[in-house]
């Protein structure tokens, strides 16, 4: 992850606006050294060549972007207060915790959130945290379905958001930002009249709060991605509360409202994490998984940064996902990132243009929009939820909006058990997805290879 000094750097640069011009026929791009042919239906004419998007490609010019002054009314979110004044906030002084570290749990703020969770009425499972090392580090848990650990088996519960309900709908999500070039992505989305969901790391949000405000005012959905990007199941209860609580608090101070969705880093969630999140007014948003639980809708774009995956493999992964779209009973949610230049370049240059040109046509939407909910339902204060204030626990609130109930796949079984299943129906699709077999490349998530760069 970027150090604080880099996070605070101001880049003055400009770049030409991007536009999608669909090709008359599919473009075939191949890299002989990789032997991974890819066939995007369309690419951005201004795209950086795939062979240039490598581990060594660490920076791009940051495009100019629109910032908004204090007091701006967020018209995209009816009922929301005007934007706070960032000049009055000093996120790099007490009481805020250090960047990119699990926050201490002995602060007055965290102690209060711990009390709020305890009094929320949500039963928190008592099993111990997982050991480092994912499945390999926890061999006794591989066959244990009682805790519904997503990392080992991709188990989900009824209140996990795992797909968009409508067929041929792609829920656009981007994690880990804002990065130095995140606004290049936001600018491109604006040119294409698209909205996405951005899951913000608290340490990145306080480093670039003006970017978070711009994403919000422009009508994108903001979600929580913890303070320091840890594997949550490795943490004690109090540490999970600190990770979520501080991120809730800073986003409330930046935006004036508190997101009611979160994405666990690495997808690492179990029923203990789910219950704590529920007590804090947060609904998990995952990404789509095949019914056999062996493949996830992860392009592996993040792995380009550590050299474990090539940009050609990312596009091949992406195209294999799109090939499955017509066979889905529902839409899908895909995992992408906006922290690093490589991931932004892949999205702006290739995956989004490819998705826009796909036949049959896909609808590209934010998660809240693809769930048929208005944007104000993505925030505690404007959705009518009793979510508390600041970084508070949120009490026993219902997150997202409510409509019809459906089932989820829980490690090969149907139904929902455990503490996480106590929460009310959130109107979002959780049923198993019918998907044909993958052709060509695998899109299995490489959990052990993905580490946040510091």
Query: What token pair was written down for 161?
Result: 């958001």
User: What is the set of active-site residues?
Assistant: 175, 337
Burial class of 407 by CB neighbour count within 10 A (0 to 12, 13 to 18, 19+)? middle
pLDDT of 336: 98
Alpha-carbon torsion 248, 116, 395, 163, what sign? positive
Question: How far is Cα 363 from Cα 360, in angstroms, rounded to an integer?
Answer: 10
Question: How far is Cα 348 from Cα 19, in angstroms, rounded to an integer?
Answer: 9
pLDDT band, very low/low/confident/very high, at 59 (cuts 50, 70, 90): confident
Question: How far is Cα 297 from Cα 443, in angstroms, rounded to an integer?
Answer: 7
pLDDT band, very low/low/confident/very high, at 381 (cuts 50, 70, 90): very high
Mean per-residue pLDDT over the chain, rounded: 81
> Which stretches within 22-123 are classed as H helix?
108-118
Q: Is the pLDDT of residue 30 over 60?
A: no
Phi and psi angles of residue 29, each rounded to the nearest 5 degrees, phi first: -120, 130
pLDDT of 386: 42
CA angle centred on 420, ends 414 and 424, rounded to 5° = 90
Q: What tens digit of pLDDT does each residue of 231-278 get?
A: 999 999 999 999 999 999 999 999 999 999 999 999 999 999 999 999
Average pLDDT over residues 273-296: 92
Phi and psi angles of residue 261, each rounded to the nearest 5 degrees, phi first: -125, 155
CATH architecture of 4-422: Alpha-Beta Barrel (3.20)
Q: Is the pLDDT of residue 118 over 70?
A: yes
pLDDT band, very low/low/confident/very high, at 64 (cuts 50, 70, 90): very high
* Sequence spans of domains, the chain: 4-422
Which run of H or E residues covers position 147?
none
Q: What tens digit of pLDDT does each residue of 193-219 get?
A: 999 999 999 999 999 999 999 999 999
């Amino acid at each position: 992850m970027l150090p604080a000094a880099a996070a605070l750097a101001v880049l003055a640069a400009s770049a030409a606006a991007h536009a999608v011009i669909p090709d008359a026929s599919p473009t075939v791009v191949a890299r002989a050294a990789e032997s991974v042919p890819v066939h995007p239906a369309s690419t951005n004419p201004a795209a950086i060549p795939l062979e240039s998007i490598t581990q060594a490609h660490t920076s791009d010019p940051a495009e100019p972007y629109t910032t908004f002054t204090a007091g701006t009314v967020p018209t995209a979110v009816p009922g929301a207060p005007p934007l706070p004044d960032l000049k009055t906030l000093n996120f790099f002084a007490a009481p805020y915790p250090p960047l990119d570290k699990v926050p201490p749990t002995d602060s007055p703020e965290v102690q209060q959130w711990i009390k709020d969770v305890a009094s929320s009425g949500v039963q928190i499972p008592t099993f111990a945290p997982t050991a480092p090392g994912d499945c390999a580090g926890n061999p006794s848990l591989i066959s244990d379905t009682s805790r519904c650990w997503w990392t080992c088996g991709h188990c989900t519960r009824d209140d996990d958001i795992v797909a968009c309900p409508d067929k041929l709908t792609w829920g656009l999500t981007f994690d880990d930002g804002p990065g130095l070039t995140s606004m290049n992505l936001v600018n491109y989305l604006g040119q294409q009249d698209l909205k996405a969901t951005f899951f913000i790391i608290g340490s990145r949000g306080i480093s670039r709060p003006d970017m978070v405000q711009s994403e919000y005012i422009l009508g994108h959905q903001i979600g929580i991605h913890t303070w320091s990007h840890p594997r949550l199941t490795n943490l004690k209860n109090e540490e999970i509360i600190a990770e979520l609580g501080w991120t809730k608090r800073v986003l409330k101070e930046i935006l004036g409202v508190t997101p009611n969705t979160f994405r666990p880093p690495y997808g690492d969630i179990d029923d203990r994490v789910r219950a704590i999140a529920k007590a804090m007014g947060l609904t998990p948003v995952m990404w789509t998984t095949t019914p056999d639980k062996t493949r996830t809708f992860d392009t592996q774009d993040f792995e380009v940064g550590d050299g474990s995956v090539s940009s050609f493999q990312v596009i091949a992964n992406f195209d294999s996902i799109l090939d499955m779209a017509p066979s889905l009973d529902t839409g899908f949610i895909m995992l992408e990132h906006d922290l690093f230049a490589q991931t932004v370049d892949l999205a702006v240059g290739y995956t989004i243009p490819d998705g826009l040109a796909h036949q049959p046509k896909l609808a590209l939407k934010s998660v809240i929009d693809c769930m048929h909910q208005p944007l104000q339902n993505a925030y505690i204060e404007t959705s009518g939820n009793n979510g508390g204030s600041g970084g508070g626990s949120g009490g026993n609130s219902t997150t997202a909006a409510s409509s019809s109930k459906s089932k989820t796949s829980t490690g090969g079984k149907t139904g929902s058990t455990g503490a996480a299943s106590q929460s009310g129906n959130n109107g979002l699709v959780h049923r198993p997805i019918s998907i044909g077999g993958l052709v060509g490349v695998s899109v299995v998530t490489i959990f052990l290879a993905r580490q946040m760069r510091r």
